[in-house]
Amino acid sequence: MENKQTAIDYIVNVVNSCIAPDYIPDEIIKQAKQMEKEQIIKSIIDTIVGSNDIYDKEYPEVRRCAEQYYNETYGKE
């Protein structure tokens, strides 16, 4: 199964193909991808258990499932 593209992946591909390859520094891309990953995972958890700032401690199994979904859908970073 082919992985879906995240918004960050799309933007990086467009910038690299339209402006210049490697125009965006790797460290910025890495940070943006990590932020996006956390947003997607938190969104999944919020959908399952409701909005909760301490979900990592109370629902570690839900976070593991959300991370597994992310990795299967978008690929591991």
Mean pLDDT, the chain, integer: 85
Q: What is the pTM of this model?
A: 0.77
Residue 2 has pLDDT above 90, yes or no: no
pLDDT at site 33: 94
The tokens 């301490």 sit on which residue? 54
Summarised one tens digit per residue, pLDDT across range 25-38 is 999 999 999 999 99
Summarised one tens digit per residue, pLDDT across range 52-65 is 666 556 778 888 99
Please state the rounded mean pLDDT for residues 6-26: 89
